[in-house]
Homo-oligomer: A and B are copies of this chain.
Amino acid sequence: LVTVDGLVEGVDFDRGYCAPGDVGWKSVAVNLSDIAAMGGVPRYCVVMLALPPDTEVSWVEDFLTGVLEACARWDVDLVGGDLSSAPQISVTVTAIGTAPGLVIARSGASPGDVICITGELGASAGGLTALQHGLGDDPRFQGLVARHLRPEARVEAGLALASSGVTSMIDISDGLGLDLARLLRAGGVGCSIDPDKVPVAAGLTDLHEAVPDAPEPSRLALSGGEDFELLWTVPPGDLARARESCEQTGLAATAIGEVTSGRRTLGALDLDEPEEDLGWDHLLAR
């Protein structure tokens, strides 16, 4: 399994509130999340770092510390890299993994399968909102902020699910709406989702009270990106087994709807709209 993903300063992160170690950690984690969503075990990574020539050496050292912390967390070896100059910082990571069992693709869902997610949604977008409003140090939002700056790749859960009968899987990197649309389109299927069943991250209600112009908690959960939870489908007969195997890794598993042969919708959202109309940026800007 091979995956590549990058972070660009000013687009994917802001040095004003992302410490260099956070950028390093996240650049690795987002790639391992892709391996996790295929039921794989990440093994190696390489890092390309482009920097303005006046970047402080300490920034690079702290960045590398974050990279190595993420590698240690998931037992991945950093086996190479490259440095270049650029007007702003940009990081590209390639991760290489193996699949001990079945490789789970996006495309395997069939009508009748149950649609499930791991964990809770909206935490990362909530953390970003807190940071953007100068609330990064507020103890109420530490959990949200940590989920934004140091996301977890659901490697253990992905492995457990891959051997428990799941038929398709994807990680939620760009928001439930967009990644659900990708999963359903890949399988040529529709869905019936109960938006009220989508677990909302703790802390988002407090955040909405502290920042009245922040989106509603449910909106952050349905359209906030970068939670890196797993979205998967499973035949009803395998649901209990899959849910149990996921929960044994310490992560909740929640059924939010069903695969159908009908339309693709998430609440009022038509998932067959162009991708640029489904991402969290667009919804948050409304």
Contacts and interface: CB of A to CB of B under 8 A. Distances in A.
Interface string A87-117: 1101010101000000000000000000000
A90 B46 contact: no
Nearest to A31: B82
Interface in A91-149: 92, 94, 96
Contact of A8 (B80, B85, B94): B85
Top 3 A-B pairs, shortest CB-CB distance = A94-B94, A92-B92, A4-B46
A57 interface: no
Contact of A82 (B5, B44, B48, B88): B5
A72 interface: no
A146 to B, nearest CB: 24
| Interface residues of A, dominant DSSP | strand
Contact of A46 (B12, B85, B94): B94
Contacts of A44: 2
Contacts of A2: 44, 46, 79-80, 94, 96
Interface of A: 2-6, 8, 10-12, 44, 46-48, 50, 79-82, 84-88, 90, 92, 94, 96
B12 A94 contact: no
Contacts of A5: 48, 82
Contact of A87 (B12, B79, B87): B87
A61 to B, nearest CB: 19
B80 A50 contact: no
A88 B85 CA distance: 12
Given A5-B82, A79-B2, A96-B96, A87 B10 contact: yes
